[in-house]
Structure 1
Amino acid sequence: MPQQPSSPSADLEFALELADLADSISLPRFRAADLRIDTKPDRTFVTDADKAVEDALRARIEAERPEDGFFGEESGREDKGTRRWILDPIDGTSNFLRGVPNWATLIALEVDGTQTVGVVSAPGFGMRWWAEIGGGAWGQEVGKDSRQLHVSGVSDLEHASLSFQSIEQWRLAGYLDSLLALEQATWRDRAYGDMWSYMLLAEGLVDIVAEFDVKPYDLAALVPIVTEAGGRFTDIEGNETAWNGSSLATNGHLHDAVITTVAAARK
């Protein structure tokens, strides 16, 4: 398990242990010839690996943190008090089932409505990222030392790199004109996709990430990592929440300019 240079809290240590458990289940199923794939009522895919990871992590949380609540993509939500673990067992299931390594387990702890711990474990990439409020954001590649993450210093849209996730998301949300306006205003646009866009932002390699049709379990683990790396994380209108169905993450310098550009294109 990667170790943070300063002493991690008990909650972060537990989250990293959960990530180890998740990796031990998901990675052997990646590119497995007998992977089982089902379609959920919302027409998204779920694999046996998604279910197995969430079941194992939920059982561990219930055994070791019985007073904490839980919200997972596959098994739903159970609130208990002011603390809640929010999990996406495999973020990027479509990538996972096609054999594309851009997928990860997302683990967050939310306390009194604030995401205080976030872990993103991407064993297909051999990478893990983590953060807790006040402790900085960190990343580690397998076999290498951990390193602290910092967002970029880009302050002008014309020099910014944008990851917009997918054209379909923006079109269905009624924001296609805003996407085109951002594309024209920025230096470079790509759709790196899923959690990876946000980790590239935290590493200072991308400057803006935005998407729609996202759930709290898609975003909660990303928030502490982006913000502890020096970035800003809101919904597309600038509200500081992971619960409104959209996201906008930037290096902070560009945030207001992106919100202005998005809003102006919808008038």
Structure 2
Amino acid sequence: MTHAQSLSGQVAVVTGGGQGLGRAIVQALADAGARLVVCDINPATLEDTRKSLEASGTEVLAVPCDVSDAAAVDAMFEQAGQRFGSVDILVNNAGLVPSSPAEESLRKAHYAYRTTPMPRQSLGVTASLSDADWHKWWGVNVHGVFYCTRAALRFMERQRAGRIVNIASVAGLGAGSMHSPGYSATKAAVISLTQTTAFDVAGANIQVNAIACGGVNTPPMLAYLAGATEEQRASLFQLVPLGRFADADQYARLAVYLAGKDHYFVGQVLSPNGGYVI
């Protein structure tokens, strides 16, 4: 799907690129020859990523940035322009995921409800959701995608070329993450924003697409699996026809493909999910 050096000389901005799936995407883009602008809210992981990339000969600008802050996003893209002169690729990867102890408890209860015979009833998730729990998802997961897309388009529309890849989730395609309605709603919003933006800018040779990830073996997911019982893990994987989750580099290779010029996708939602959603 990808070709060595197929992105040679291209400038790629990756948000949330200091760890997990974001770091895998950053490395895959670097392997394809791109120059990188990497942002993350965690300075320690961002610095580690920068050192790793520079050690392998990749040109990289590392910028600590909270993508929910529009001014910080604009400042980051201004630095990108000053350093590299253009932005050719944007991967909107930064996002909050359900990982708190309370959210993990709801996740386990949800999986049990879907895989274990028990009386049908309301699970009470939506009715008990607080205002704070609802609002916390939107700043990074939706506003951040919009702010970064808007800033990137200032370069891409002027040069009449660009690729934007939004990292969404199967949570935005159905009820698979009903234990976190706020997260699911934001990922559905990312999918809708992908489609409307794609239609808007395709005439300027800018292709916008999304990857609706299924299970990814990132550190938070691996931590959840490590804390689950054997029965809970078996119940979870029973929901996935393929019986396993994907490694981050499998998604990263798809992101590199969509960041290139050898495809005809516009406004599409590609969902590698092992059959979780068909």
Same fold (TM over 0.5): no
Q: Which has the higher contact order (CA 8 A, sep 6+)?
A: 2
Larger radius of gyration: 2
Q: TM-score when scaled to structure 1? A: 0.30
**What's the TM-score, normalizing by structure 2?**
0.29
